A and B are shown apart, each in its own frame.
Chain A
């Protein structure tokens, strides 16, 4: 049986506007699961329900085999890390970390050893006497993590803990947090809206939409097959074209020829990395696509290209297409070819990798 079981969780603040409806999730001991979703999808609410800061309206909530729905938050032994650290301003770093240990009635010298140990773990040795206001954003979050982990909670909840930090620090800290959680074999639920952060930290990602989990898988598997148009859009995977009926509706002919579709409703995903810089590889099919360049934006590691794709069978229609061209593939010759822009420009041909084109059925 799973360590944490959430079954059919319901929660609403306003009548007829449920925040969570039929939320299901199982978490194994020692697993780091990431709740990924856009703002307002109910992921923070779920953490607050788990911590006991909100009351569950319906459903089952089991931690280590026991029903915790009726337990007061201070008896649950569930750690919580807030978005903006919420350290107690009238205490210093050390007393903040010791707070939860005092609550469990640890003795004084054991506490001070434990505090030093945790400060070492979050790479802030010797910070115990510092005031809260002297800490930088990253240090504050490290102390908050140490404070949450200090009493050895049964489950650690992290609510967008890195959202208020700048990108570079966030990428560094994600790695640290993950290592720390793994080192302590901590079961953790990590909430974020940033899919790259989720890929980096999670053993498993639970993608949330409309108050429930719509997809649950490892980061690699989720990336390989998003499963739905919503997921593909949320994970910013590339271009999506709706197709209706078995004749693929209004798709360009070069796409239709390469699809095998039996259903009635689906989306075609053309990943933004499906552009081939050098066509014609052995044993591989590629698609020839007539295009006109609208704009090219240099993004460092790649060029982002806004294109209009055409189909010679329906000359009056065009399909917007956004593709990334890896900077290493962007030979001067290729770029020069794409130099001509605008409605007057000549129509060019590019090649797409068929293996990067996917059909997402409903």
Chain B
């Protein structure tokens, strides 16, 4: 009963578009056609760069994330909670906001250059980091460090601390304990985090498009360029296939690793984290200051964004760029005013959140009520959209939707599809965490199954539903890849508006981009912080 709606939705708006991509790429003249002579050096170049970029980004992220994870594991109480929340802020930022934030930090008009110019009285910005490989890597690090920290520190917390204690009674010092006991035990968590980060970097689109410029082309960016700039759908679909193949491979590895690492025996019966009391106090204080400083540096692009949005073109403080957004002048280059974009984003966001919540609830009960075997099959099936690149999805919609592809509804539909796995990942653990005895207790007290669902199961899901709703809304608000391909130029969303404004010269455009980004940033960050401190909900990511 529960399965019908999500099944139809996934079939029409996920599997059918993907099937169309296959179909088009195997049509005569496509890559699947025997007469097609592929340009291997072109393919190789793109794939090589995409992988190199992802590997370097992943390594950098791990190198930064591990010490922080170590510190988080060893700290406790509210400082731990806040550190984790603050670190997660970048992860929930839309890609365009991160792009704008780095522009605000290191761009020609950025905080860094402005500071150096005024300090050394220079005429021109001394640094130009935009459109460099380093910046792409740094941006990916900024984005994904929380993935490493969250997964690894959580894994660390769950290790049986008695094993470490046993090692120290056997004479192992801090370093040999870390190397011989903790590191091997952490390895599955470490690998799982690394794979996830790799996957995110591999399918990163908006960041590379904005910060990488024309010189750096990853698979995702190339799919977009081929499809939109050159309208070369055959090459685009072929690249999409490659993209799909790699992501599914990595996703598969990741899920396998996860089921490996959750084997009993690895996890402690009573997680109890080792405190820092054995360390000398001054060292603890020094490390603590150091860590907070690191977090500050990590968040500096966002801070720069906030500062530049109110100081760009002025020496002190002005809300000019924010006021400008609502002056309702239709910029000819954009075909719509910023206020319209904000309205569109909110409208799409609400629609996407509502529909993904309803569908997600249906999915949750489908998986939960299905027989065990079927549930094991359905769970990853419903998660598939998580691993699919949004640009590929957008391309699929263009190919598959026929007349509907000009419809404004396609945007919220794409958004709810992208939000669905998150909704499922929030709702499913919550309902699985409910004791089945609660349902039984309700039944023996005389409540029919329907009444039990209404009075016991649903009310207990409410906190998770709120979290899922906010998450879906945020996901829609920040979605860039699919929207870029699917949305009509006259119906832009905030991220599209930011992207276009960033690509145009002039302080006014940049100011508009920064102001819009700041609004998105504040919205995303505040809801995330709020949710993190909401009691009673656990998230699986």
Report which A residues bind B (CB closer than 8 A): 51-53, 72-80, 82, 84, 86-90, 99-100, 103-104, 147-148, 151
User: Would you call B440 and A53 a contact (CB within 8 A)?
Assistant: yes
User: Would you call B460 and A53 a contact (CB within 8 A)?
Assistant: no
CA distance A52 to B460 in the complex (A): 24
User: Would you call B443 and A82 a contact (CB within 8 A)?
Assistant: no
Q: Does B172 contact A (CB under 8 A)?
A: no
Q: Does B456 contact A (CB under 8 A)?
A: yes
- Nearest B residue to A82, CB-CB: B437
User: Would you call A74 and B444 a contact (CB within 8 A)?
Assistant: yes
Taking CB atoms, residues of chain A closer than 8 Å to B452 are: 74
User: Would you call A86 and B445 a contact (CB within 8 A)?
Assistant: no
CB A106 to nearest CB in B, in angstroms, measures 11
CA distance A52 to B449 in the complex (A): 13
Taking CB atoms, residues of chain A closer than 8 Å to B444 are: 51-53, 73-74, 76, 78-80, 148
- Per CB-CB distance, the 4 closest pairs between chain A and chain B, nearest first, are A103-B446, A100-B445, A73-B443, A80-B444
User: Would you call B447 and A103 a contact (CB within 8 A)?
Assistant: yes
- Nearest A residue to B440, CB-CB: A53
CB B454 to nearest CB in A, in angstroms, measures 12
Taking CB atoms, residues of chain A closer than 8 Å to B300 are: none
New contact pairs (17) apart from A82-B440, A90-B459, A103-B447, CB-CB < 8 Å: A53-B440, A53-B443, A72-B443, A72-B448, A74-B448, A74-B452, A76-B444, A78-B444, A79-B445, A80-B440, A87-B441, A89-B460, A90-B460, A100-B446, A103-B451, A104-B446, A151-B445
Q: Does B293 contact A (CB under 8 A)?
A: no
| In the complex with contacts A73-B440, A82-B437, A86-B438, A147-B460 CB distance below 8 A | no
CA distance A51 to B445 in the complex (A): 10
Q: Provide the main secondary structure of the chain B interface.
A: helix
Cβ contacts B419-457/A at 8 Å (1 or 0 each): 000000000000000010110111111111101100110
CA distance A43 to B487 in the complex (A): 63
Taking CB atoms, residues of chain B closer than 8 Å to A78 are: 444
Taking CB atoms, residues of chain A closer than 8 Å to B435 are: 86
CB B466 to nearest CB in A, in angstroms, measures 14
CB A25 to nearest CB in B, in angstroms, measures 20
- Nearest B residue to A159, CB-CB: B437
Chain B residues bordering chain A, tally (CB within 8 A): 20
User: Would you call A103 and B441 a contact (CB within 8 A)?
Assistant: no
CA distance A80 to B451 in the complex (A): 18
User: Would you call A74 and B443 a contact (CB within 8 A)?
Assistant: yes
User: Would you call A88 and B440 a contact (CB within 8 A)?
Assistant: no
- Nearest B residue to A50, CB-CB: B444
CA distance A198 to B541 in the complex (A): 48
User: Would you call A99 and B437 a contact (CB within 8 A)?
Assistant: no
CB A46 to nearest CB in B, in angstroms, measures 15
User: Would you call B445 and A147 a contact (CB within 8 A)?
Assistant: yes
CA distance A82 to B445 in the complex (A): 12
Taking CB atoms, residues of chain B closer than 8 Å to A74 are: 442-449, 451-452
Taking CB atoms, residues of chain B closer than 8 Å to A53 are: 440, 443-444
CB A105 to nearest CB in B, in angstroms, measures 10
Of B435, B443, B455, B462, which is in contact with the most chain A CB atoms at under 10 Å from its CB?
B443
CB A45 to nearest CB in B, in angstroms, measures 13
- Nearest B residue to A78, CB-CB: B444
Q: List 28 A-B contacts (CB under 8 A).
A: A53-B443, A53-B444, A72-B443, A73-B440, A74-B442, A74-B444, A74-B448, A74-B452, A77-B446, A78-B444, A79-B444, A80-B441, A82-B441, A84-B437, A86-B437, A86-B438, A88-B438, A88-B441, A88-B456, A89-B460, A90-B456, A103-B445, A103-B446, A103-B451, A104-B446, A148-B445, A151-B445, A151-B446
CA distance A74 to B443 in the complex (A): 5
CB A143 to nearest CB in B, in angstroms, measures 12
Taking CB atoms, residues of chain B closer than 8 Å to A90 are: 456, 459-460, 462
Cβ contacts B450-475/A at 8 Å (1 or 0 each): 01100110011010000000000000
CA distance A335 to B208 in the complex (A): 88
CA distance A74 to B448 in the complex (A): 6
CB A358 to nearest CB in B, in angstroms, measures 42
CA distance A53 to B441 in the complex (A): 10
Taking CB atoms, residues of chain B closer than 8 Å to A99 are: 442, 445, 447, 455
CA distance A90 to B438 in the complex (A): 11
Taking CB atoms, residues of chain B closer than 8 Å to A148 are: 444-445
- Nearest B residue to A73, CB-CB: B443
Of A80, A87, A90, which is in contact with the most chain B CB atoms at under 10 Å from its CB?
A90
- Nearest B residue to A48, CB-CB: B440
- Nearest A residue to B451, CB-CB: A103
Taking CB atoms, residues of chain A closer than 8 Å to B442 are: 74, 88, 99
Taking CB atoms, residues of chain B closer than 8 Å to A104 are: 446
Taking CB atoms, residues of chain A closer than 8 Å to B440 are: 51, 53, 73, 80, 82, 86
- Nearest A residue to B463, CB-CB: A90
Taking CB atoms, residues of chain A closer than 8 Å to B460 are: 88-90
CA distance A79 to B437 in the complex (A): 14
CB B436 to nearest CB in A, in angstroms, measures 9
User: Would you call B441 and A86 a contact (CB within 8 A)?
Assistant: yes
Taking CB atoms, residues of chain A closer than 8 Å to B459 are: 90
Of A74, A77, A104, which is in contact with the most chain B CB atoms at under 10 Å from its CB?
A74
CB B534 to nearest CB in A, in angstroms, measures 15
CB A127 to nearest CB in B, in angstroms, measures 19
Taking CB atoms, residues of chain B closer than 8 Å to A87 are: 441
Taking CB atoms, residues of chain A closer than 8 Å to B456 are: 88, 90
CA distance A53 to B446 in the complex (A): 12
Of B435, B437, B449, which is in contact with the most chain A CB atoms at under 10 Å from its CB?
B437
CA distance A84 to B448 in the complex (A): 23
CB B427 to nearest CB in A, in angstroms, measures 16
CA distance A88 to B446 in the complex (A): 15
CA distance A362 to B438 in the complex (A): 44
CB B520 to nearest CB in A, in angstroms, measures 34
CB B129 to nearest CB in A, in angstroms, measures 52
Taking CB atoms, residues of chain A closer than 8 Å to B443 are: 51-53, 72-74
Taking CB atoms, residues of chain A closer than 8 Å to B441 are: 80, 82, 86-88
Taking CB atoms, residues of chain B closer than 8 Å to A73 are: 440, 443-444
Taking CB atoms, residues of chain B closer than 8 Å to A86 are: 435, 437-438, 440-441
Taking CB atoms, residues of chain A closer than 8 Å to B448 are: 72, 74
Taking CB atoms, residues of chain B closer than 8 Å to A51 are: 440, 443-444
CA distance A85 to B443 in the complex (A): 15
CA distance A89 to B441 in the complex (A): 12
CA distance A218 to B446 in the complex (A): 33
CA distance A260 to B451 in the complex (A): 65
- Nearest A residue to B444, CB-CB: A80
CA distance A89 to B438 in the complex (A): 9
CB A20 to nearest CB in B, in angstroms, measures 19
- Nearest B residue to A76, CB-CB: B444
CB B465 to nearest CB in A, in angstroms, measures 13
CA distance A220 to B154 in the complex (A): 55
- Nearest B residue to A157, CB-CB: B444
- Nearest A residue to B456, CB-CB: A88
CA distance A151 to B446 in the complex (A): 9
- Nearest B residue to A153, CB-CB: B444
- Nearest A residue to B437, CB-CB: A86
Taking CB atoms, residues of chain B closer than 8 Å to A151 are: 445-446
CB B249 to nearest CB in A, in angstroms, measures 38
Taking CB atoms, residues of chain A closer than 8 Å to B438 are: 86, 88
CB B457 to nearest CB in A, in angstroms, measures 10
CA distance A75 to B437 in the complex (A): 17
CB B433 to nearest CB in A, in angstroms, measures 11
Taking CB atoms, residues of chain A closer than 8 Å to B449 are: 74
CA distance A148 to B462 in the complex (A): 26
CA distance A53 to B442 in the complex (A): 11
CB A145 to nearest CB in B, in angstroms, measures 13
Taking CB atoms, residues of chain B closer than 8 Å to A76 are: 444
CA distance A287 to B498 in the complex (A): 100
